[in-house]
Amino acid sequence: MSGNIQLLSDTLERARSENRAALIAYLPAGFPTVDGGIDAVKAVVAGGADVVEVGLPHSDPVLDGPVIQTADDIALRGGVKIADVMRTVREAHEATGAPVLVMTYWNPIDRYGVERFTAELAEAGGAGCILPDLPVQESALWREHAEKHGLATVFVVAPSSKDERLATITAAGSGFVYAASLMGVTGTRESVGAQAQDLVRRTRATTELPVCVGLGVSNAVQAKEVAAFADGVIVGSAFVQRMLDAPDAAAGLEAVRALAGELARGVRRDGDGAGAA
């Protein structure tokens, strides 16, 4: 069975044709439970997310902040396994029709087996993987199996990436390019926004792939700001925080659905990004 890389490409192209950025939501599998995580994915798509990244919880998520680390810890203490991640992808995709990717560090795939992982992800209806810590020069085996199974290989670029390095990374990737920055950490919002905009410009000079930005976006105003220069706006911690703050599971689902609605209006470049969800 072939994976859904074409659905991912079509979804991003549809957003572009509608003169807006795509809204890409990240949620960890198994948080707060496996069933609860599946329901959360359904809720963000119902709210307006175009694409979903399902996180594979890891004991040492070095690139994730404390909010996602907290959710990963809850999922791992709940006993989440790769089989649960695949089930999350399958049930979320079947219920929503949206493209669903897995975001994971390399070690779990390496231990599980590349062929086994890619075959199961494709069978589950997955669209691909985001691999933040897999060096491009060590990715040939993964890319061979991902391509065979119709899965996107999404690599991460950063403001520190030199132009030559950007060209190497984007030439090896598929689906889209994940442009990462650190809004609110590396400087003022204005300076970080300018840095991200420059990264998108430099990345686009090397590839025809859509360039989607993860910037710590948490509200419609910020989503609109990023959507002005990016093909997609990636939001993760804000969704997870809403669930962590909720008094119960039902309230958590309503909170992430509402946030997705706010963000979906924000990514429409011709809209005001305002209004209740």
Pair of tokens at residue 86:
């695949």
Predicted pLDDT at 183? 41
Q: Per residue in 172-202, pLDDT tens?
A: 999 999 998 764 332 234 444 778 899 999 9
Q: Is 107 helix (H, G, I), strand (E, B) or coil?
A: helix
pTM for this predicted structure: 0.92
Q: β-strand 100-103 against 128-130: which pairing, if any?
A: parallel
pLDDT of residue 182: 61
Catalytic residue among 10, 35, 60, 64: 64
Instruction: Give the model's pLDDT for residue 181.
Output: 74
C-beta of residue 37 within 8 angstroms of C-beta of residue 31: yes
Question: Is residue 38 within 8 Å of residue 248, measured between CB atoms?
Answer: no
The mean pLDDT value of the chain amounts to 90
Q: Which residues contact 184 (CB under 8 A, 6 or more apart)?
A: 192, 216
- Is residue 226 predicted with pLDDT exceeding 60? yes
Q: Verify whether residue 110 is a known catalytic residue.
A: no
pLDDT tens per residue across span 25-56 = 999 999 999 999 999 999 999 999 999 999 99
53 is catalytic: yes
Q: What is the pLDDT of residue 62?
A: 67
Q: Bridge partners of 130? A: 103, 154
Provide the percentage of residues in the chain whose pLDDT is more than 70. 92
* pLDDT tens digits along 68-126: 889 998 898 999 999 999 999 999 999 999 999 999 999 999 999 999 999 999 999 99
- Count of CA atoms in the C-beta half-sphere (13 A) of 241: 12
91-106 burial by CB neighbour count: b if 16+ within 10 A, else e?
A: bbbeebebbbbbbbbb
Q: What are phi and psi of 4, to 5 degrees?
A: -110, 40
Of the candidates 53, 91, 120, 231, the residue annotated as catalytic is 53
